Structure 1
Amino acid sequence: MVSMEQLVGFVAVAEELHYGRAAARLRMTQPPLSRRVQALERELGVELFDRSRRTIRLTPAGRAFLAEARKVLHASQEAVLTARRTPRGDAGVVTLGFTATTAYSFLERVVTEAAARLPGVELVLREMVTAAQVEALLAGAVDVGMVRPPVRTADIRTAPLTSEPLLAALPEGHPLAVRAPYPGVADFDGEPFIMYSPSEARYFHEVLIALFRAAGVQPVHRQYLSQVHTILAMVKAGLGLALVPAAAAALRMDGVVLRPVTGLPEGGPGPGTVRLDLAWRAGNDNPALPRLLRVIRRLAGDRQGSPIT
């Protein structure tokens, strides 16, 4: 079995091409270093050095082995550094769950900021609806999620991240898309409407139901879908109107016009806005998790949310 001491000795001799200098570099005497190299050669069954001349040289086998030995030594050093950094949260792996709409804007900023502030932490991304994220958090398959509220599970901690207004998604050429002023909630009354699924997109479904009920508006629900990009495609096809989070503007879908909606409540989460929360399991012992949570919440500008424990 090749030992690390043998590899270190071989690399030193191969780089110095002189036993005396290599021994001095390793703070040892020459005879034991020579024995290490000879033992390595016996273990490998090949000669690593050509000793037929006054100066030693690497054999072809020695040159090939040197490249691999350096890789092994580098990997062992990285392993030691990783082990030392991990308890401090400077290294490790954190799995982050996110909903599809999060990817349109906020997720990109999270990935960029995490890479800059936590270069030793690998971020594994998993796109999942909120219900699946909660299950994964409880099972330990995901460390932190960006979810839609509410999460009513005792073992899950949450903190508010962001909120954004709803925009009207209108087919290009539709009267509400070309006229001024901007459309209001009442303009959706009796209009064909692409609604969110009450099961797969429950949060958005409930937000819109509450919004229309408060305004006394009854759109005609033509389809029930869960993904914003699919809803926009149906709007483009002329199947109906829709209300989508402002982040959907990043999709820039041809044939669809996005307009602000007048008369919606402003100034924070409410019937006219949709919210995004940060969620993690209480007691998660991943050392890198608290650092990533702080990065995400700092990025969101949330200074007042629940403490991260």
Structure 2
Amino acid sequence: MSDPNKNKPVDDVTGTETTGHTWDGIEELNSPLPRWWLWTFYATVIWGIAYTIAYPAWPMVSGATAGLLGYSTRGEVARDIDAFREASAARDSQLAEADLVTLASTNEDLYRYAVSSGAAVFRNNCSQCHGSGAAGAKGYPNLLDDDWLWGGTHEAIAYTVRHGIRNDEDDDARYSEMPAYGEILSEEEIAALVEHVRSLSGMEHDEALAASAVENFTDNCTACHGDNGMGNVDLGAPNLTDAIWLYGGDREALTETITNARFGVMPPWGPPRLTEAQVQAVATYVHQLGGGQTDAGN
């Protein structure tokens, strides 16, 4: 029988079989892999097969194979969340029933917990609109100042969070609607109203046009904004005499507001979205940011 290795090329210097590949006269040796490397490789293959059997691994149409151990990172996170909730259950129960007006003075530990947990609730659910620092944006109120459309007391803030504003989900949502005066007044009358509104807050304005709009303002705007234009928190009507504008106080923005009106919507965040304790917590957090109003009787 002929030797199968007889015709295989061999390196003259080392006596090692070559692969037959040559580059610039240099032949590639067909040296065997070290034993330790081979056994390590085989071990990783076995480990990989065992892993795909024991843990979720192979993608399917609507998920992945569950694995014999039934492990999932989501399940682990869920268990951690449940453990945290169990540890916080007693304080959450207290917070859900707490009087937010007196909380800081009667239970300092629970108050600190409310502020801390309320900050987390705010970052997860409110910062998308009001900003991570609660400074708001065009159409989204700044929660750091003392200008509140619906009131800035503990109770008012908690109610707003719980029920939302102008939404169709909660029958107790705060609700008001400004008419679109573009369907009622002429462009000239709206232009004059813009000047009058600017005059209320001390901005540069056309005095003659502003004076000509006094009657229209009285007939159409004072029912909500008040005779002096200082607004009404019961109706969510903004104060027109300060320098704070939700949609802007320039002529273009005011013309758009008066012509087509605004209709900002906030969803209700009460149960089941948030627990009552979380509502109380985020109301406490927002109130202490710097613009919270003093509660009646305090």
Which TM-score applies when normalising by structure 1? 0.30
- Relative to its length, the structure with more strand (as a share) is 1
Which structure has the bigger radius of gyration?
A: 2
Give me the TM-score of the superposition, normalised by structure 2: 0.31
